[in-house]
Amino acid sequence: MKNEMKIDVQKKFYNTFQPGYLTYSKNMPYAKYLVSKILENIPGERGDVLEVGAGQGRFTFELAKFVKKLTVCDISQKEIRILSELAKRLKITNIKSYIKDLVTLKKHSLPRKYDHIVGFFILHHLPKEKFSKIAGKLQYFLKPGGRLVFIEPNNVYPFHIVEMMIEKEMKWEVEKGIYSNYISCFKKACRGLGLRQIKSTKFGFVPPPLINIYPPITIIDKVIESVPVVNQIFCPFILLTFEKP
């Protein structure tokens, strides 16, 4: 029941509200920055990629520039409609969208298997008790040699709560999964399925609004990332990469 309630909270929120900070802006530097991190971790074939939890397409349209076919899914019907309508207006033809819940995803829910599966800030919204089931479904839709690559909030970074206070459209009930052991739970679920962990790296430092104003400022990120201990606490993001044998 608790798991169903968490999913219902997410679905209700994103079908009711479309937070401005999640919208897509053409050539948004922050989107470019995070997509570049994903691309660094999916070498080789990028012909057919699945993005889970795509929302309104905050990162989707930047990612679509670098893959042949991009399938996206999200639990929110309203967010997927916004994404699809924007894709039409921008005349982007390599994106196919679906309304799907990762918890109830079936083997026939998506049309095929994918070279890679990626996600931006999605895992902390999901019930960690269901991670083995969810990771198993993602593994099923992944081709051999393909990778799962996720960018998530660092759950020991102390200032996510400050961001929630500043950004009025962020809601604690929706985002509180950040401050849990969800990262270790997801890693355990993936390893339990035989997926090989390629990378678990904390990165970043400069807030997104500053990156959008002055993209070269991300050079500061590299400095913070290079400092042991400090990088584990004060880098706000974590990049997780697993590979299917």
Domains of the chain are: 2-17+24-243 (3.40.50.150)
> Which residues touch 5 (CB under 8 Å, ≥6 apart)?
none
Helices and strands (H, E) in the chain, number of each type: 11, 7
Maximal CA-CA distance, the chain:
46
Tell me the pLDDT of the chain (245 aa) as tens digits: 455 556 677 777 777 777 777 777 756 899 999 999 999 999 887 899 999 999 999 999 999 999 999 999 999 999 999 999 999 999 999 999 999 999 999 999 998 999 999 999 999 999 999 999 999 999 999 999 999 999 999 999 999 888 888 887 787 788 889 999 999 999 999 999 999 999 999 999 999 889 999 999 999 999 999 999 999 999 999 999 999 99
Where would I find the beta strands (DSSP E) of the chain? 48-52, 69-74, 95-99, 114-120, 142-153, 196-203, 237-243
Instruction: Tell me the pTM.
Output: 0.93
Strand-strand pairing, 48-52 and 69-74: parallel
Distances (CA, A) of 194 to 62, 112, 132, 190: 31, 21, 11, 7
